[in-house]
Every structure is written in structure tokens, then in C-alpha cells.
Chain A
Amino acid sequence: MMPALATGGGYSLPVFPYHRPAEVRGEKRRHPVAIVGGGLSGLTAACDLASRDIPVVLLDEDDTVGVRGASSRGIVYAQKTLEIFDRLGIYERIAEKGVTWSVGRVLADDDVLYAFDTARGSLSKQPPFINLQQFYIEWFLVDRLNELPKAELRWKNRVSAIALAKDHATLTVETPDGTYALEAEWVIDASGIASTIRQQLGAPMAAALGEDRWCISDVRFQRTLPAERWTWAKAHFNDGRAVWQHPMADGVWRLDYQMGANADPQQIASPEIVKDRLRRHLGETEVEIVWVGPYGYRTQLMESFRQGRVFFIGDAAHVMNPFGARGGNSGVQDAENIAWKLAAVLSGAADERLLETYNEERRAAAEHNIKVTGRTIRFLAPRSPFEHRLRDAVLDLARRYDFARALVDTGRLSVAYDYGTSALTTNGGTAFPNLAITHPDGTPGALSDLLRGPGARFLVLCFPSTAALDLPATSVRAFACNAAIGSLPVIRSTGLAALGREGEVMVIRPDQHLAARLVRPDATAVLAAIDRACGGKARR
């Protein structure tokens, strides 16, 4: 990764207080979960675990959000991520601060090849996308964590070493008060692309650097543009190369320009060249440059996202090319996946076998994302004259014929990964939309409300004309959908009718993915599906 240049910005970031850690004061304790790294994935994991009433300590080397220098990093948050943030209690702030959008346009020079509206057919209470500078999301997560009694945030705590034992890990942590050792039963490494822990453990990882170069310019300007995602497969104002145009909060736009192969990062990010590029794109308008960052492509994928007591999430586990907002969004979903599994194990609802499925499920998702983003690159940066002419034939046809528009690949936007037939699912795996529902007491809400609370609870949704099931109440919450079944509480939603048929019972996992879809099951069959979704025998 090339260095990011910070130029101005006009953002003021919070500074969080450092407290002398208990271990430095001589207290000895073993934490159930320690998280290394307070970026998007690490903070989400901490918030998810603490929301499930699991004590968690998060260590971050810095004392603010974002990378030093106000780099904005990720900006596009997809529906599944927004649903997770709804459950964690920060969605309203994101919706208020960010730019909600659903329309995208794909262009070639001056022609709109096609437009799409991702809101069409959406059943979720959350919109398909909200754009917001990543550090704001991190900030909201920190604020939320400060309200959760089970979360402890340790700023200016830099992890410099790790030692693994059979039933715990010991981290060496450097602070302004000196170095201390922190013991944890489980460690989540969310320390990003250059993870020290990953390197120290010598965990195998495939890595590749691409030749393609891009240059991000986050800017404010006077012209009013629509709050839409515009992508040019090629643009005459960028020498025939690709361009991205996206709005975000505070009136800032992200303009991302494809550069020539192996272009010099210093040169493409120099102020005169950046200004000239912006003038060609936007015309004569006053432009305030918030941030400029040249970058090159990089792909990284760990062989296993688990090393003993350590789980790797987000960029520490996988790095993909930044198309379709798949990096940040998959990091958030990694966090949710490991959080509910650790919560299930630590609260005694499942045994440790469940944890191995974190790697199975989330590595498959990362592999998929790397494949998808790799295809986009091949479309945007053809490798030979033939590939270039084939690509141009697609663009040419797309101007006139609908079918060819589907072949124009300027990034496939992030959607929740379908786990399909994983070790945990029974005819399930897809993400269940966060439906707007009416609760049994008549109050309006969302499906994710039912998943809140301590531990890792499963939902059992019983559609009309199923038998009343006799289920233990401890880790399972059963509801009748739209019509009374026995004494079950009834939730109502038009979306439910669209998703389930008469006679069906759906088991929803704590991460709102479908664990099982069963037809007229008895209680034994439902409990068997929950056992399977807990990686073996669930404890009740």
C-alpha cells in the first residue's frame, strides 16, 4: 500500500482518554475476549460482543478514529452492514449523518449505458446503501461502546507481541506507562493489513500486488450533483480510464480516478496535477481538496482465519481490490460472525467446535469477494489489446442492447454473503432481511429487535398453519407470523408474507442469516436444526 497524503481536511476528530490499565497497576486477570485494533471491524466486534453481554477489552495503538491524517477510507455501507448497525444501536446516527442512496449510473464517456435502483424489491427496514466517511462510523461505535458496561476501550495500547498457550493467549502491550502482559481466552485480531500478530505467528497468507494505480480525491465544490453512484468505465476527462463519483457526508464527494499502470504515486497526487484533473472532470468550479490518496491494488488472503486462540477479521484476514465496497462491509460481517459464535460459546450455549466455522464461513466469503473484485479489475484494466477490444465491444453493445449492460462490470456492489449449505445450515444460508414488523405488543420495530439481548439467541418464525411447537425458552425465541399459532406471540409484517409460505418454519441465526427452512416440522426437527447451527449439540 502506498502512503496516503493528508492535505487539509477540515475534519476535527475526537481524542479519547488513555487510562492506566489494570495490569499496569498490578492486577492480574484473564479477559474472555481481547480485540486488537480499533478500526471498523474491531470496534464492530467489540460492540457486538458487549451487546451480547460478553466482557470485551479492545486495544488500540492510537487515541482517535480513522487513520492519522483524516483519511476517509471506506465510504459505502451496504444494507447488511446497516442492519448490523441497527441491531448495535448506531443506525439512526448513521442515517442522520450519511447520504442515503440507491440509484447508480454506469457511463462510458458522455453516455449513460444504464441506470439501476437497488431499492427496488428491497424488504429491509434499512436502505440499500448509505455513504459516510468511515471515521464517523468508528466514532459512533466508540460512543456506543462507552455506554455498554461490558466493554473496555484501551487507547494508546499497542500490541507488540503475542504468545499462544493451549487455553489462552498472552499479548505484550506497550502503553505510556510502560509494557504489560494481557491474558485473554480468545483474541480477535482486527489490526489491519500489516498485522503484527499475523506476522509473528507466521500464519500463511497468499499476497499479490497489482500494477493498476488509482488516485482518490475527496473534494467539496459548488456544483450540485445528484446523490447517486456514478461510475465511468472509461471517461474522456480521465484519458479514457475509469472514474468513480460518490457523495458522502459534510458535502464531500469522493472522486476516484484510474491512473496508468505503474504510475508514480507522488506524481499523480501532486497538487497541480490533482487540480487539473478535477477541472477536466467538474469544469470551472471552486474546489476544496479534503484529502488525496494514491493507491495500488493489493490482494491478501490468509490460509486460515484462525490460529489457535486467535481469530483474524477484516483487513488482517483478507484484503481485496476496492470495488463494490466489499472490504469494509465484509469486515463488519466477519465481526458479527465471530461475535455471535464467541458469545454462544462463552455463554455456554454451544461448544468450541462452533468457532471453527468462523473460518469456514468467512473465508469462503472473502474468497468470493476477491474473485468478484478481480473480475472487475480485468474489465476496467484490460491486460492485452484483445481484452481491450472485447471490453470496448461490450461497452458499444451496451449503448444499444439491454443484455450487454449486464456484462459491464464497474464493480458489483456488496451484498450479504449467502453461506449456502455450510456446516451450520439446513436448507438456509441467505441473509434474512431486516423486516419492519409490528411487535406482539403492537409497537412498530424491526426483526433485529428480536435478536438483541444477552448471549446468542435464535429466532423461530412459524408461518400460518404450522403446528404449535413446544420449544425450550432459554436460547430460542419463537414467534407466529401474521396469524395466531397456539400461544406463540404474533409478529406482523407484509414482508413476512413475501418470504415464507404456509406450513414453513424458519430458524434465524443470531446474525440474521437463515439457519434452516423447514416444512411442517415438529419440535425435534427444529431443535436439530438449531443444534446444527451451533456446530453440534446446543446446550439448553
Chain B
Amino acid sequence: MKTSINISDGDAFYEALLAAAEGLSADESEAFLLRLVLLLANQVGDQQALLDAISAARAMVNVKRD
């Protein structure tokens, strides 16, 4: 999993993300993000990188696993 910046223009990416989600309800935002995640996952492709990213994101959400 890459952890240093790999996006050519980070600020523009963030801005585009905000713009796309602007005015969406919570449900719509979730629908947007789920589709985005799946599209991006296919861009990454590398299985290990995907699994690492899933664990890294999960570890940052403060709910204990049973």
C-alpha cells in the first residue's frame, strides 16, 4: 500500500470530491462513496494493496471488533 502522495494534484482532487458530493443527502453521499470505492478499487487492482487499505481504514474507525 502506498502511503506517500501518489495523486498528481491533491488539492484539485479534494475539491472535485467535495464538488461532486455537494448538496447530497447522507444516503446519497453514501451511495456516491460506495460507487466511488468500487471504481477506485478496480483502478488499484493489486489485491494486497486493497486488503491493506481495507485494514488501514478499518483500524482508524474506533469500534472494537468482536
Contact = CB atoms under 8 A, between A and B. Distances in A.
The answer to whether A binds B is yes
Contacts of B30: 389
A393 B42 contact: no
Interface stretch (A28-36, A311-319, A362-370, A396-404): A396-404
Contacts of A407: 38
Interface in A362-401: 389-390, 393-394, 396-397, 401
Chain B, interface residues (CB within 8 Å), range: under 10
B21 to A, nearest CB: 15
Nearest to A407: B38
A390 B34 contact: yes
Nearest to B42: A403
A397 B30 CA distance: 15
Chain A, interface residues (CB within 8 Å), range: 10 to 19
B31 A389 contact: yes
Contacts, number: 18
B4 to A, nearest CB: 27
B31 A397 contact: no
B39 to A, nearest CB: 7
B38 A404 contact: yes
A397 B35 CA distance: 7
A498 to B, nearest CB: 28
Interface string B36-59: 001100100000000000000000
Interface string B16-42: 000000000000001100110011001
A489 B42 CA distance: 50
Interface string A421-464: 00000000000000000000000000000000000000000000
A407 B38 CA distance: 10
Contacts of A404: 38, 42
Nearest to A390: B34
A368 to B, nearest CB: 18
A407 B41 CA distance: 12
Contacts of B38: 393-394, 397, 404, 407
Contacts of A390: 34
Interface of B: 30-31, 34-35, 38-39, 42
17 contacts: A389-B30, A389-B31, A389-B34, A390-B34, A393-B31, A393-B34, A393-B35, A393-B38, A394-B38, A396-B35, A397-B35, A397-B38, A401-B39, A403-B42, A404-B38, A404-B42, A407-B38
Given A404-B42, A407-B38, 16 more contacts: A389-B30, A389-B31, A389-B34, A390-B34, A393-B31, A393-B34, A393-B35, A393-B38, A394-B38, A396-B35, A397-B35, A397-B38, A397-B39, A401-B39, A403-B42, A404-B38
